[in-house]
Amino acid sequence: MRGCCLRAKSQSVSEIVAAVRLPLKTSEKALASDLENLTNEFRIWRAVYDRPLSESKVRNQLQEIKKLAKRLAYALGVSHGKDIRDIEQHLFVILDQQAEKYAQRKGPYPEVEPTPYDSDAGKRFTDYGGAQVVLQATQGVWRLYEWARAGLKEMEAEEYQHWPPHGPSAEAWLISKAIPEIYERNFGQSFGVSKSSTGTGSPYGPGIRFAEAFLIQLGIPKSPDAIAKAWQRHRQQWDKAPNK
């Protein structure tokens, strides 16, 4: 599944709101932020609960990260959280220059706002924040080492909860818990399912329409029947689910 399509296509949120046919209690910007965060969280849930790695695989990965990150941190002069500018000044300048050239070729870094400026000769240039992203990247190397080391230490503790964790599937969590919570927060109504008085026909209602429209944007379309069944089957289990 790709990263959130809602960020790339601003009309997606408008289409979802139009499908619900209710006024937003928040704003399209707030809803877009909620859905983008949910998309990213769903990707993590799928990896953790639907396709988990074995405990030995996780341990081996952490050991490899710890070893490589430590070597790279010493090469960059950032071991033990040191600043590359204090230890490897020439290397910092080289990486800063390359970070600026990279942004010129590939586009600005999403975490840094480009800043235009004029040179002494009157030429217009853009500062892409190369120094800032170099510092963030090099500091991240030592943090990777520390996180991997901490993860390995945690796995050795007696109270460690063995991997893989057990829990509902990612789609069960998405449909029965996450989507209803976002719907209720942004539209100010309880998520529910309506049925015809005769009990025939597909379930309907604004909550169902919201879930259906979002799942289409997410690339996993579900029918109203499938959404209603998943919601009814799993919505009572979250108080019992471990680590949720």
* pLDDT on residue 7: 43
| Contact criterion met (CB below 8 Å) for 32 and 6 | yes
Q: pLDDT at residue 188 above 90?
A: yes
Separation of alpha carbons 155 and 61, rounded Å: 13
Query: Residues 13, 14, 16, 21: is their CA dihedral positive or negative?
Result: positive
Band (pLDDT 50/70/90 cuts) for residue 244 is: very low
Q: Which residue has the tokens 């399209």?
A: 28
CA distance 24 to 177: 20
pLDDT at 3: 41
Residues 48-79 pLDDT 10s: 888 888 889 999 999 999 999 999 999 999 99
Question: Does position 128 have pLDDT exceeding 70, yes or no?
Answer: yes
Q: Is the pLDDT confidence value at 184 over 90?
A: yes
Per-residue pLDDT for 39 more than 90?
yes
For the purposes of burial, counting CB atoms within 10 Å of the CB of 73, is it exposed (0-12), middle (13-18) or buried (19 or more)?
buried
Query: What is the C-alpha separation between 205 and 10, in angstroms, rounded?
Result: 24
Q: Check pLDDT > 50 for residue 141.
A: yes
What average pLDDT is seen over the chain?
89
pLDDT at 168 over 70: yes
Residues 6, 39 contacting (CB under 8 angstroms): yes
What b-and-e string marks burial along 23-32, b requiring 16 or more CB atoms within 10 Å of the CB? eeeeeeeebb
Q: Which of 22, 130, 134 is nearest to 85 (CA)?
A: 134
Q: Which of 37, 41, 44 is nearest to 7 (CA)?
A: 37
Phi, psi of 239, deg, nearest 5? -70, -20
pLDDT of 242 over the 50 cut: no
* pLDDT value, residue 10: 55
The confidence score (pLDDT) of residue 165 equals 67
